[in-house]
Amino acid sequence: MADINNLSSVYEPQLVEDKWYEFWKSNDFFAPSADYSKIPFSIVMPPPNVTGALHLGHALDNTLQDILARFKRMQGYNTLWLPGTDHAGIATQAVVEDALAQEGLTRHDLGREKFLEKVWEWKDLYGNRITSQLSLLGSSCDWTRERFTMDEGCSKAVREVFVNLYEKDLIYQGNYIINWCPRCNTAISDIEVEHEDSSGNLWHIKYFVEDAEDYIVVATTRPETMLGDTGVAVHPEDERYKDLIGKNVILPLVNRVIPIFADDYVDKDFGTGVVKVTPAHDPNDFEMGLRHNLEQIKVIDNHGIMHENAGVYQGLDRFACRKRVIEDLTEQGYLEKIEEHSHAVGHCQRCATIVEPMISKQWFVKMKPLAKPAIEKVTAGEIKFIPARFTKTYINWMENIRDWCISRQLWWGHRIPVWYCDDCGEVIVSKTDPTVCPKCNSTNLRQDEDVLDTWFSSALWPFSTLGWPEATKDLAYFYPTSVLVTGRDIIFFWVARMIFSGIEHMGEIPFADVNIHGLILDGQGRKMSKSLGNGIDPIKVIEKYGADTLRFSLITGVTPGNDIRFHWEKVEGIRNFANKIWNASRFVLMNMEDYKTINVENKLTLVDYWIISRLQETIKTVTRNLEEYDYGEAAKNLYEFIWDDFCDWYIELAKPRLFRPQDNMERLLVQNVLHDVLSDTLRILHPFMPFITEEIYQYLPSHNRTIMLDKWPIADDEKIWTDFVDDMQDIMQVVRGIRNIRAEFNINPGAKIEAILIIKDAAKREIFTQNSSYIESLANLASLYIEDALDTKPKQAVSAHTHLVEIYIPLEGVIDIEKEISRLEKDFKNAENDLTKATNKLKNEKFLAKAPPEVIAKEKGKAEEAKLKKEGIEKRLQILKN
RNA sequence: GGGUCGUUAACUCAGCGGAAGAGUGCUUCCCCGACACGGAAGAAGUCAUUGGUUCAAAUCCAAUACGACCCACCA
């Protein structure tokens, strides 16, 4: 360690952060010890995308987890924070495909096996970037237990779960309507579709009734799907169309004869009240089709191109086809009118391509039976969402859940563990790869081509990472995990699925608390996105300002669950705070050369009692806030205690006592208080700012191996001396009063002046007398006189008044009496206002009857204080006016 | 259509039943033996609107307005 006196007066995080991370990691401080007699505390990290880069969302998410992990570790819990990464099926495959496209290749040119080799190469190359970035943040996760959703253990867990669910009839395969992304070329689940309102048209098309002159008009937003219409629906009670039910219409352009039928689904008041029904390309039409036995005609293929069933339109892109269909309808006189209409259009979450609903053979998880216990555990309070309002979000979604489409037509992911026998058609679902058909002994087996939704494996994360399906020690000890920390954007994708998976496969909830945080937005409140180019790279922030500053900036002044706007100004403010901590610590350490530990009891003075009390209160609040996951409030309390109380008041008061002590004991005493307060402060600050606190900690005369394994301070109520705190506040008020006069009368800050305090209350006068040296130094006084009364009150003086004290500053030369009078009159008015407010309350009988006694007592105190202050000013005004 | 969040000083946000707060910015003064990434003092707010509950409302309730987000199968 460098000599404390040579340290820079500006804190330079770049010089210390890497050093300490390496120190912690190489000493295995992050890895929980084998001491299983201790109480466990465990968190699994939401696994970031393996090929991704750290963004501010990750920075926030992991800062919160690290705060909890470090806090609990210091409290003595056997703490495991388990890190890992996600294979992120579509996202990763897309990145590698993009890279291939640079060489003019597609994945099909390489073939499945070669392509997967490429993805693994990619993973090995870039897979560590995110984890090394997490290290830069200071994340105290146990890298020795790091996992990956496609590692051997997790893959085993996936198969186990798939087979279990299949055997319980909770996984099935079938032809249903699903969301299809024509660009990604795969099915996606309902929640991977993002609906966005877009202005479109509602086209009104005439469908002529068979064998009649009559026609009915259907309204549609997607005219190209009419090519697949196999019916027309009206509401059963719609008088307009009642007579037509059971008749047929002739589908324009196609000339197919299709039935008119009645269905409750139809809304009489929307459009024309007539719905064209395309069972193969619309989820509602699909349902109606089933109810009325309609034919399903697929007219759009997997690439979004019109299918051969589309007749002359075959080969056209679906949107080009829309144009052509409109043109043809217009030409042939079928188009009645075009209305403007805004409606929600589904886009692929990954690539923003407009999703096409279509019938497809896919694998599904039956959700209702799984959702039921998952709802119950939450409503029963076994799993708690913090903030609580997210409970509702979760329950609403779970109650309206639909089956989960889990198969994806991708190559990167967990291959579905299903084999088909080409000889007898047997379907084999197996945990291990089969070699022969159990039914016909054929070896002509073919594995299902598809992979599983990436969230299928993430859903198992809290137990697959601890060794399941093996009965490992870690699993027995750390499961259920203590808390899950994650963003509100993945409650459905991830949290909900972990909950039902944990209950179903472990028979136990995966975590007791779910701590949801908001999203990081840019300065204007917009989501950060690549297309807007408004993203902030957290690594850049760390390089410039340090990880501690980034961490603290992300959490301070933030309400739980609310979104957070990122502002550089705030980062700079926190950088200044870090610098403040650095310099205050430097001050303490620079005055430690002759320090030795003494027993400070019975030697403390008012200011010592005060700062120790404030420290206890801060420890208490910060501890409670952390237990309640209120990071913002905890950070705010730390900031205020350190900057306002410790730096601005205590250190200032410590200076004369250190430099010009009455005796050697005084210096020793102050050194001890400074040391102890700093030491505790560093420890309660450590979870928030791990690096700077470790750096300073190591300079403390008394320190252990590392701050991160030192003890979390426990607040001592007996060290909260409220009387001393009150007295100190009285003194601070007087100091502020004198300073205010100095500033208002432009007294040179360097000039030492004289002040007179009139204090009637004998006990208070005694306290002020005992502590007069503090007032002298803080207000920079040459002399201070404390009296019970003043016989001849000087006219050539300015005054200020608190409820206890009249302050007089005699001024040489002439003071502007008029100005002084108006200054005092303003104060007088304020005191009078306070007094009337309080007395009015006290005159109110209902208030006296119903308000709690302590509130009434407080109000009486306020009235008394205001009265004394008012009287003081009044008397002074009389003198000035005569 | 349903739901959630927000509306407090010029800006960014805390506070969420008992005397309006912070940071930034602004004004004035100050390099005083930790820090000018600093210190001292100061100006600055009908706490969106309207009703209600209460002795007491920025804080609870209800409506409204304006933002933002989420869910949803009105073609």
- Taking Cα atoms as reference points, which of A823, A809, A758, A747 lies closest to residue A787? A758
Q: Spell out the residues 6+ positions from residue A706 whose beta carbon is closer than 8 angstroms to its own.
A: A23, A24, A27, A29, A694, A697
Residues A11, A692: contact at Cβ < 8 Å? Answer: yes
Residue A650: the pLDDT is 98
Reported as a single tens digit per residue, the pLDDT across A815-854 is 778 888 888 888 898 899 889 989 999 999 999 999 999 9
Mean predicted confidence (pLDDT) in A84-94: 92
Which two three-digit tokens encode residue A389?
């309002």
For residue A858, say whether its CB is under 7 Å from any atom of strand B. yes
Reported as a single tens digit per residue, the pLDDT across A156-177 is 999 999 999 999 999 999 999 9
* CA dist., res. A297 & res. A818, Å (int): 95
For residue A229, say whether its CB is under 7 Å from any atom of strand B. no
Residue A1: the pLDDT is 67
pLDDT exceeds cutoff 80 at A71: yes
Q: What is the mean pLDDT of chain A?
A: 93
Dihedrals phi, psi of A483, to nearest 5 degrees: -155, 150
For residue A38, say whether its CB is under 7 Å from any atom of strand B. no
Residues A606, A771: contact at Cβ < 8 Å? Answer: yes
Per-residue CB contacts under 7 A with strand B, chain A residues 389-418: 389, 392-393, 396-397, 400, 402
C1' of B67 to CA of A526 (Å): 12
For residue A240, say whether its CB is under 7 Å from any atom of strand B. no
Reported as a single tens digit per residue, the pLDDT across A475-493 is 999 999 999 999 999 999 9
Q: What is the DSSP string of A574-638?
A: HHHHHHHHHHHHHHHHHT-TT------TTT--HHHHHHHHHHHHHHHHHHHHHHTT-HHHHHHHH
Q: Spell out the residues 6+ positions from residue A880 whose beta carbon is closer than 8 angstroms to its own.
A: A795, A817, A820, A821, A824
Mean predicted confidence (pLDDT) in A384-389: 95
Which two three-digit tokens encode residue A596?
């030795």
Mean predicted confidence (pLDDT) in A211-215: 87
Dihedrals phi, psi of A529, to nearest 5 degrees: -150, 155
* CA dist., res. A518 & res. A565, Å (int): 10
ipTM: 0.97
Per-residue CB contacts under 7 A with strand B, chain A residues 241-270: 265-270
Mean predicted confidence (pLDDT) in A261-287: 91
pLDDT grade for A4, boundaries at 50, 70 and 90? confident
Residues A560, A517: contact at Cβ < 8 Å? Answer: yes
C1' of B30 to CA of A659 (Å): 22
pLDDT exceeds cutoff 70 at A792: no
Mean predicted confidence (pLDDT) in A81-106: 93
C1' of B75 to CA of A460 (Å): 39
For residue A89, say whether its CB is under 7 Å from any atom of strand B. no
- Taking Cα atoms as reference points, which of A330, A315, A323, A320 lies closest to residue A252? A330
User: Which residue has 């998952």 as its token pair?
Assistant: A374
For residue A839, say whether its CB is under 7 Å from any atom of strand B. no
C1' of B24 to CA of A565 (Å): 14
Characterize the bridge pairing of strands A781-787 and A451-452: unpaired
- Taking Cα atoms as reference points, which of A220, A171, A211 lies closest to residue A501? A171
User: Which residue has 């009063």 as its token pair?
Assistant: A737
* CA dist., res. A130 & res. A551, Å (int): 17
pTM of the entire structure? 0.95
For residue A862, say whether its CB is under 7 Å from any atom of strand B. yes
Residues A102, A470: contact at Cβ < 8 Å? Answer: no
Question: From the C1' of B35, which residue's alpha carbon is nearest?
Answer: A583
For residue A19, say whether its CB is under 7 Å from any atom of strand B. no
C1' of B14 to CA of A524 (Å): 19
Residue A879: the pLDDT is 85
In this complex, the nucleotide whose C1' atom is nearest to the CA atom of residue A640 is: B22
Task: State how far Cα A781 lies from the chain centre.
Answer: 50
**C-alpha to C-alpha distances, A758 to A12, A335, A403, nearest whole angstrom:** 49, 95, 80
pLDDT exceeds cutoff 80 at A812: no
pLDDT exceeds cutoff 90 at A790: no
Helix axes A690-697, A664-685, angle to 10 degrees: 150
Per-residue CB contacts under 7 A with strand B, chain A residues 649-688: 651-652, 655, 659-660
pLDDT grade for A577, boundaries at 50, 70 and 90? very high
Q: What angle do CA A711, A713, A716 make, to 5 degrees?
A: 145
Residue A813: the pLDDT is 65
Per-residue CB contacts under 7 A with strand B, chain A residues 563-592: 565, 567, 569-570, 573, 575-576, 578-580, 583-584, 586-587, 590
Question: Which helix (H) or strand (E) is A11 found in, with range?
Answer: none
pLDDT exceeds cutoff 70 at A723: yes
Residue A196: the pLDDT is 87
**C-alpha to C-alpha distances, A263 to A205, A240, A337, nearest whole angstrom:** 20, 14, 25
For residue A497, say whether its CB is under 7 Å from any atom of strand B. no
Residue A823: the pLDDT is 86
- Taking Cα atoms as reference points, which of A263, A237, A244, A250 lies closest to residue A206? A250
Question: From the C1' of B40, which residue's alpha carbon is nearest?
Answer: A739
C1' of B20 to CA of A360 (Å): 62
Burial class (CB in 10 A: 0-12, 13-18, 19+), A430: middle
Dihedrals phi, psi of A512, to nearest 5 degrees: -90, -40
* CA dist., res. A371 & res. A369, Å (int): 6
Residue A814: the pLDDT is 60
pLDDT exceeds cutoff 80 at A794: no
